[in-house]
Every structure is written in structure tokens, then in C-alpha cells.
Chains A and B, each alone.
Chain A
Amino acid sequence: MSDSKDVWVFVEQEGGRIADVSLELVSKGRELADRLGSELWALLLGEGVEGLARLVVETGADRVLLAEHRELRLYRTLPYARTLTGLVKEREPYILLFGATAVGRDLGPRVASSVRSGLTADCTDLQIGDFESKKDGVLYKDLLMQIRPAFGGNLIATIVNPRHRPQMATVREGVMRTRSPESARAGTIERVSVFLEPGDLALEVLSRELRESTVHLKDATTIVSGGAGVGSKEGFEIVRELAGVLGGELGASRAAVDSGLVGKEHQVGQTGTTVRPRLYIAAGISGSIQHRAGMSESNKIIAINTDPEAPIFQIAQYKIVGDYAEVIPLMISALREKAK
């Protein structure tokens, strides 16, 4: 095992744009590297992506490993995994992080299996700390504490990877904050060679259609969410109307999404989108842990529920015990009145 304490972040890009979660990870990675007194390196793979490297440096990376190749233009598991695995084996980083996106959750496990190290999925926090192993009685200093919801969000588990390197994790989008780029920040951009084998090209992308999402929960300043208590699609129209009047976005709990009342793209929570709006209105949402964990950092929370004991009230600044179908129309008319 090498003595390196370097932190690596895989930077995901598509069509000339870096994924938000990758910049969030570069920001978090900077913090971890500072804590460890080590360097933060970013891995940028693609074709014609050199222009993106500067933003990665400005956000916090000390070095960008730039791997450019025709076969890396569109993401595919095997060419990306081959390139990453080669770099990891050669340079032996201490920590390697991915965004928990469709790409990160496809690539991370493949690389972890290939370098025979542990990987923790969907982390919501990362810290550096010591761990005394009951398995071998050894005190491991400065390990990566990989913190994630477990068991459908009912528990929070801290996972460590004491003896294998790198310590790997995928991290959920939206839970880490992005640092503002500093234009004067210095960093090295190092071009690395790409060696692929014929077998790495077993899969061919025939077509890729990207849909721009019309729901923008993550950056919304106001969100009005409905839960299972809303009960029907018609009920959701009332919730949607309030969101419209407030110029906000429509959100939903997992229970509402699972019962088909509203699309998955509206889901707030650990298994949906993590949000921090100025105002969050929860209608007919009981407030399961997995939902609260995705919205509890909202500036102001208004909860409307017929059950006075609903857990959502524990974190709400404004508690309204009542039926959303009566309360929301009152809100809409008060708002319209005010706008006059």
C-alpha cells in the first residue's frame, strides 16, 4: 500500500458541460485533501474536453489528469473503466470519488471490482476520522468515513474501508455545496495516455437521446410538495396550482411517486432530489426520514397535515393541522389578494 493520501475525483462531463455533482465533489474533495494535507486530483475523460479542465482547477483541484481519446467521446463502461483502473493502479490514490449518477453508479463498481477495493454507494456525507477495527484490533488513522442512508432511509450507516486502497464512494447529487471558482487558482493539467484493448469496444452506442428536464427542484427557491395524503391526481392539481401561484416547483414524497400520483422527476428525499429552498410547503406528507433528510435544510418549512402527530411537524416552522384541500385554496386566495 502506498503512503499517498491524495484524493481523486472522477469528473463527469457530457456535451461540453461538467455534471453539477462533479463540481460538488471537487469542492468536497478540496476539503478532504486539506484535512489530510494532501493533493486533490481530478480525472477528466473524453474527447475535446481540455477546455473544461480550467474550471475544475478553479473549483479546487491541484491537478487534472486529462485522458482524451476518440473512443472516450461518449461514456461507455469498459473504455472508461480501463482508463481509470490503469491510472489507479499506477498512481495509487488514497480516496476515489464518483457522483452517484447513472454513469458513476455504472463505472464505480466496475473499477472497484477491478482494483479489488471497497465502494460505498450513494453517500450523503464524507468525513475523515479514525477507526478501531474489531476485526483485527488495529487503529486506522484518517480513514474516509462514508456516510449513507441504509435500509430504505431508516438508518444512517458509516462505512469504512480500512485495508484496501483507494477508499471509494459514490456521492449523491445536491448534498455537497459547490465552491465558487477562484480565477487565480493555480493547478497542473497533465495529459495521460489511453490504452484500450479490442474487448473494451464490445459495446457500441447506437443512439442517445437526452431530454432536458422541465422540473428544476434542486435550484428552486420555493417548492410545494404533495404526499400520499393528497390521495389523487386531482388533488395534486391543487398542490401544483399553489406552486404555480408562488412561482415555485412541484415536489412530491416517494409514497406519492410510488403510487403513481406524480412523476419520479418531482421526488424530494434521499432517493429523489435533495433540496434547500427558501420556502418548502409539505402537503399531506407524513415526513418519513427519507423525505425529511432531503428537505430539512430548507429555510422555512410549512407543513399541512390532518394528523397532529405527523413527524413532518417536528421540523416545520409553521404547523397547520388541517386538510390540504381546504388549506391550500385559502392560501391561493390570500396570495392572489396580496398580489392585487
Chain B
Amino acid sequence: MPLKSVVLVKQVPDTKNITGEAMTPEGTINRAALPTVFNPEDLNALEMALQVRDSEGGEVVVITMGPPSAAEILRDSLFRGADRVILLSDRRFAGADTLATSYALACAIKTVGGVDLVFAGRQAIDGDTAQVGPQTAEKLGIPQITYAEAIEELSGSSIVVRRALDRGIERVKCSLPCLLTVVATANSPRPASVRRRIQYKRASTAFERKALLEAWPAFGTEEALVAHLKERKLEIPVWSAQDIGAEEGKLGLAGSPTQVYKINFVVLEGSESKEIQPTRAGIKSLVDELVEEYIIG
């Protein structure tokens, strides 16, 4: 039976290479200063949704909330097989903590309408909070299945999921609609297909129109370009707070209960250190010392 799925994805800074300039004096993240990637576990969520569509039919809609540059991961989603993508972008979304983010995402999912399954990565590598999935489910008033590893059975009205616990696994059955957060061990995300990469190369948002027109002057006018993009389904819609019927007070910084008080670099103090030579004699004296001090033995 065909099912409609929404996948929530996030463009994140590559947290492996961080410098001090990544943080603003207000303690928020200066995303412009960092290279970005598709949040890894969101790719596992997308893969799980695509597998559902491939076996059951239906549609996969990918949504991200972020700055105009987040269109990059929406194109990547199209390359990998998503049916349509939506960018939530509005200054009023900025500075959101997990509560305000999940409120906006829930409003967008309601705007899409008729959704059977919502997928999200377990957590994003910039915040590592794992909160947006459960909070979006709560805002939608639907059950959540966190740490999902595999869908074992699926019908039009219920789903059986295997989920990872701290020490073991659990199989649960849940009615639809529901929200799943997906872990990295669930699957190997499919790569972008060459055919789709060509097909969706010019998929773009209104933010990108000028640049596209410059790169593609043959179209002459913006109107002609837009008509072309629409006809080929290459227009990525951008939804604002108004488009999703969100209350302004619940969005962005204003709608966020948590505030960053301060940010510190980590300094770990060590004690006096003693250099040991990597020789037989050096190591022997180290072992003797540890035994004498009752550290070992």
C-alpha cells in the first residue's frame, strides 16, 4: 500500500575541524565559517524511507530547515532518490533551540498533509542532542520510535520496528502515523545516481535564481527560467513561517527556552610528567615503579 513519508534532514558543520571563529560572541554558531555536510544519520533515515517507497509505493518528501545554502542537501536528496524536497527558510526561524525547531518542523509536516511516516536521523553531529525527533513527534501528537534499526513489517495501518537499546534490542509494533529516528547501523545509504544527478542538477530555490541565470544566460529572463524549472519539476519550494501557519512567538530565538550562557574551550590540566625511554631497561624500570606504588600487581 502506497505510503507518504517525510524525511527531516539537516545540513551540519563538519565538527571534526573546529576553530574558535566558529562561535559568535553571543555563543551561537557562526555556520558561515565552517564546511558543511549532510548529517550522517539523516542519510540513514532517507535510505529507510526510500526503501519503504521502493517496496510499498508512495512518496518521499524531504524537508530541511536552514539558511538558503541548505538547498545543497536537498539537491543531494533528489540525486539519491527523493520525490520532492522543501526548504524551510525564514529569518524568524533563526536561533532556534530544539523545541522551536521541532515546532517549525511539525507545522511544515502538517502543511504537507496526509503523512503516514516521518523519518529523522537519531541525532545531528553538531548538537548531538537527539531531541528534535521526539519533540516533533510530540508536537504532531503521534508516537515515536527512536533508535530504529530496521522495519520488519509494514501495513497501511501499523509498523513493526526493531530498535537498539543501550544493552540489547527491542521489537515494537506501532500504529501509523508515527515518527522514527534512525541509527547509523540501520543501512548503507545509496549513493547519488548518475541519471538523477543529471536530471536534478539545476533543481534550485528562489534564492539561487540569480546565480543560475548568470550561469545559464541562454534563458534571458527570469520568468522564462522559472517556467522551465517549474515544467521540469526543478523548482525547490521555500516555505516561510507564514507558509506553514506558525505562530511567531514559538519560533527561533524567541520561541527557545534555552539560552547559551557561555562557551569555553576545554583545558585539561595534567600533573608532572616523566619521560620513559622506549627501551627494555626504560620499560622495566616503569613496571617496577608501578608495582612498588601498588598501581599494578
Which A residues contact B (CB, under 8 angstroms)?
77-78, 81, 101-103, 105-106, 108-110, 112-114, 116-122, 131, 133-135, 145, 149-164, 202-213, 222, 246, 271, 278-279, 289, 292-293, 296, 299-302, 304, 313-323, 326-327, 330-331, 334-335, 337-338
Chain B residues near A246: list those with CB within 8 A.
296
Task: Give Cα A121–Cα B102 distance, bound, in whole angstroms.
Answer: 15
A151 to B270, CA, bound (A): 23
Q: Are B284's CB and A334's CB within 8 A?
A: yes
Residues of chain A within 8 A of B287, CB atoms compared: 331, 334-335, 338
* A-B pairs with beta carbons under 8 Å apart, 12 shown: A122-B128, A157-B27, A160-B258, A162-B259, A292-B268, A314-B270, A317-B270, A319-B273, A321-B278, A334-B286, A335-B287, A338-B288
Bound CA–CA A213/B16 (angstroms): 29
CB distance from B155 to the nearest CB of A (A): 14
Instruction: Considering the complex, give the chain A residue whose CB is closest to the CB of B255.
Output: A116
Contacts of B169 in A (CB 8 A): 208-209
Output the least CB separation between A304 and chain B (Å).
8
B165 touches A118 (CB 8 A): no
B70 within 8 A of A: no
A159-B260, A210-B167, A319-B275 known; A113+B102 contact, CB < 8 A: yes
**What residues of B have a CB within 8 angstroms of the CB of A289 in the complex?**
266, 268
A248 CB to nearest chain B CB (Å): 9
Evaluate contact between B274 and A317: CB separation under 8 angstroms: yes
* CA of A330 to CA of B277, assembled, Å: 11
Residue in A151, A212, A301, A314 whose beta carbon sits within 8 Å of that of B18 in the complex: A151
Contacts of B273 in A (CB 8 A): 313, 316-319
Given A121-B127, A159-B258, A317-B274, verify A102-B283 contact (CB < 8 Å): no
Contacts of B97 in A (CB 8 A): 118
- Per DSSP, are chain A's interface residues mostly helix, strand or loop, or mixed? mixed
Task: Compute how far the CA of A174 lies from the CA of B260 in the bound complex, rounded to whole angstroms.
Answer: 24
- What is the CA–CA distance of A281 and B225 in the complex, to the nearest angstrom? 63
> What separation, in Å, do the CA atoms of A236 and B27 have in the docked complex?
40
Q: Is the interface of B mostly helix, strand, loop or mixed?
A: mixed
> How distant is the Cα of A133 from the Cα of B269 in the complex, in angstroms?
31
Interface string of B208-241 (1 = CB under 8 A from A): 0000000000000000000000000000000000
Nearest CB on A from B268, distance (A)? 5
Chain B residues near A334: list those with CB within 8 A: 280, 283-284, 286-287
Let me know if B260 and A157 touch, CB within 8 A.
yes
Q: Is B243 engaged at the interface, CB distance under 8 Å to the other chain?
A: no
B172 at the binding interface (Cβ < 8 Å): yes
Check if A150 sits within 8 Å of B127, measured CB to CB.
Answer: yes
Instruction: Contact check, B167 vs A213: say whether CB atoms are below 8 A apart.
Output: yes
Q: Would you call B48 an interface residue if the criterion is a C-beta within 8 Å of the partner chain's C-beta atoms?
A: no
Q: How far is the CA of A240 from the CA of B167 in the complex (A)?
A: 22
Contact, CB under 8 Å: B270 / A315: yes
- Tell me the smallest distance from the CB of B175 to a CB of chain A, in Å: 5
- Residue B178 at the chain A interface, CB threshold 8 Å: yes
Closest to B103 in A: A113
Contact B99 A102 (CB under 8 A): no
Instruction: For residue B112, give the distance in angstroms from its CB to the closest CB of chain A.
Output: 20
Known: A204-B174, A327-B278. 5 other contacts (CB 8 A): A77-B143, A106-B147, A152-B125, A156-B264, A314-B270
Q: Which residues of A contact B132 (CB under 8 A)?
A: 109
- The answer to whether A105 touches B130, judged by C-beta atoms less than 8 angstroms apart, is yes
Q: Is the CB of A158 within 8 A of B171?
A: no
Q: Which residues of A contact B135 (CB under 8 A)?
A: 109-110, 112-113
Q: Which residues of A contact B137 (CB under 8 A)?
A: 110
CA distance A108 to B149 in the complex (A): 21
Q: Which of A106, A222, A299, A301 contacts B146 (CB 8 A)?
A: A106
CA distance A135 to B257 in the complex (A): 12
In contact, A202 and B278 (Cβ under 8 angstroms): no
- B276 CB within 8 Å of chain A: yes
* Pairwise interchain contact A155-B18, C-beta atoms closer than 8 A: yes
Specify which chain B residues have a CB less than 8 angstroms from the CB of A292 in the assembled complex: 266, 268
**In the complex, are the beta carbons of B259 and A135 less than 8 A apart?**
yes
Inter-chain CA distance A160–B165, complex, in Å, is 29
Specify the chain B residue showing the minimal Cβ separation from A278. Answer: B295
A313 to B274, CA, bound (A): 10
Quote the shortest CB–CB distance from B118 to chain A (angstroms): 14
Chain A residues with CB below 8 A from B166, complex form: 101-103
A315, B278: Cβ atoms closer than 8 Å: no
Within 8 Å CB of B125, what residues of A?
152
A161 and B259 contact, CB distance less than 8 A: yes
Residues of B within 8 A of A116 (CB): 99, 257
> Is there a chain A Cβ closer than 8 Å to B192's Cβ?
no
Enumerate chain A residues within 8 angstroms of B275, measured Cβ to Cβ: 319-321
Asked whether B195 is an interface residue with its Cβ less than 8 Å from the other chain, the reply is no
Closest chain-B Cβ to A107's Cβ sits at a distance in Å of 8
Given A206-B160, A316-B273, A320-B276, A121 and B130 contact (CB-CB distance below 8 Å): yes
Docked Cα-Cα span, A246 to B270, in Å, equals 24
Residues of chain B lying within 8 A (CB to CB) of residue A149? 266
A112-B131, A121-B128, A205-B170 given; A151·B99 CB < 8 A: no
Cβ–Cβ < 8 Å partners of B276 in chain A: 302, 318-320
Inter-chain contact A326/B144, CB cutoff 8 Å: no
Q: Is the CB of A152 within 8 A of B138?
A: no
Q: Which of B16, B146, B171, B283 has the most chain A CB atoms closer than 10 A to its own CB?
A: B283
The 7 closest A-B pairs by CB, nearest first: A322-B278, A118-B257, A152-B15, A118-B258, A315-B270, A113-B138, A121-B129
Question: A331: nearest residue on chain B (CB-CB)?
Answer: B283
Q: Which residues of A contact B264 (CB under 8 A)?
A: 155-158
Q: Are B261 and A131 in touch, CB under 8 angstroms?
A: yes
CB atoms of A204 and B173 under 8 A apart: yes
